[in-house]
Amino acid sequence: MKIIKYPQKDSWEGIVRRPHLDLSQLNATVNGVLSDIKENGDKAVRKYEEKFDHASLDEIEVTTEEKEEAMSLISKELYDSLVIAHNNIAKFHESQKFDGKKIVTVNGVTCWQKSVPIQKVGLYIPGGTAPLFSTVLMLATPAKIAGCPEIVLCTPPDKEGRVNPAILAAAKIAGVERIFKIGGVQAIGAMAYGTESVPKVYKIFGPGNQYVMAAKQQVSLHDVAIDMPAGPSEVCVIADEDSNVEFVAADLLSQAEHGVDSQVILITTSESMLDAVSKEIELQLKKLPRREIAAKTLENSKLVLVHDTDEAIELSNSYAPEHLIIATKDYEQLSEKVVNAGSVFLGKYACESAGDYASGTNHTLPTHRYALAYNGVNLDSYNRKITFQYLTEDGIRSIGQAVVTMAENEQLEGHANAMRLRMDSLK
């Protein structure tokens, strides 16, 4: 990890910059696959499943028998853990329900909003180096609470054409019935365009590798909405002299093991903490099964020493991390100053793992500094707010002349006339 001590503010832009990737060739490959899926549907899906996932598929959709078998293949301990996580996720997202109120803006004019679920949503669940069954709960639970009538889930199969049983179990717990054995770019294309087997959806959710994210961004230009733009996963930890060294190192490594293009950053006010964490990372890294991945991530990562916690939070806000862990003694005061972050973890016991799995908050979050403008997935992500208004004769008298005057000054006579006719009808 790169160590940076007391950086000047004019150098912060370099500190917060993520690793640069040349995506020109990648985007060309993605475009070719998407075009093939759009034109050839299931035939192209099967071709790319064989090419990329090395699975020869007779049936693209997961059968009832496969779902039932999956329930017998996972341990009771894992099933019970999934239920606990689902219950907490459901409780947190239930609290986000919208209560539209009718507002009388002026005499005779009533306005309100109604929250309406998106009718068809697609969920993408990665299954590569780590099958993310937790993401099934994170995406499907709010979709069900929102009331989305049609939920489609795509996830890559193994070489034998089977979906990870924990993913199927999580889908059952969350109430998802239509599951397809499709991974990568071909999954995004199938949900965006629709095939003979896979319904076209209106919005696609879910994380993925660089190819998946490029595919989501390409289809979002013309064909379907997506949850958010995103890049590789990341965490920022703010620590002081009282932080727990082992916890801080573990938090950095828990994120580093996601993938070689991830990034972790420590911002600390204590030089002794910086040195101790650096040594502790080396000790813990040796014990990780995914240590090669984590070690590669650490090459893109930084340990930053600053003067005080105010400077630390200012640098963090500039970084706009996907995950922010504030492990300092003044975490409550610092939390009030957070303006750019996907999800925030406060105090020494709130590890990122809690939010990734079972605390109840959603782990589908903006990365790559998109937290400057985007939030993570929540119940609103699955709804649209439709605006209504109702005018009486008194409403025409209240705002009619203002509407006409503004329309005339914008030189939109048709607009002015639509209101003017109503005003004249009241004379």
- Tell me the two tokens of residue 120: 């068809």
Which DSSP category does 199 fall into?
P
Task: Report which residue type is found at 106.
Answer: V
Query: Which residues are documented as binding site for NAD(+)?
Result: 124, 186, 209
For residues 91 and 154, give the distance between their C-alpha atoms in angstroms, rounded to a whole number. Answer: 25
* CB contact at 8 A, 227 and 379: no
C-alpha closest to that of 218 among 378, 38, 52, 379: 38
C-alpha closest to that of 23 among 229, 226, 195: 229
Query: Which residues are documented as binding site?
Result: 124, 186, 209, 233, 255, 258, 323, 356, 410, 415
> How many other CB atoms are found less than 10 A from the CB of residue 360?
19
Which DSSP category does 284 fall into?
H
Query: Which residues are documented as binding site for Zn(2+)?
Result: 255, 258, 356, 415
Active-site annotation holder among 86, 93, 323, 363: 323
For residues 207 and 363, give the distance between their C-alpha atoms in angstroms, rounded to a whole number. Answer: 10
Q: Is 323 a catalytic residue?
A: yes
Active-site annotation holder among 234, 257, 322, 352: 322
Which DSSP category does 271 fall into?
H
The label of the residue with tokens 């070489």 reads 159
Per DSSP, helices labelled H in 17-102 are: 24-40, 42-52, 64-73, 76-94
Q: Is 299 a catalytic residue?
A: no
According to DSSP, the residues that pair with 385 across neighbouring strands are: 115
Per DSSP, helices labelled H in 95-202 are: 133-146, 165-174, 184-193
For residues 138 and 146, give the distance between their C-alpha atoms in angstroms, rounded to a whole number. Answer: 13
- Tell me the two tokens of residue 55: 């699975």
Known catalytic residues are 322-323
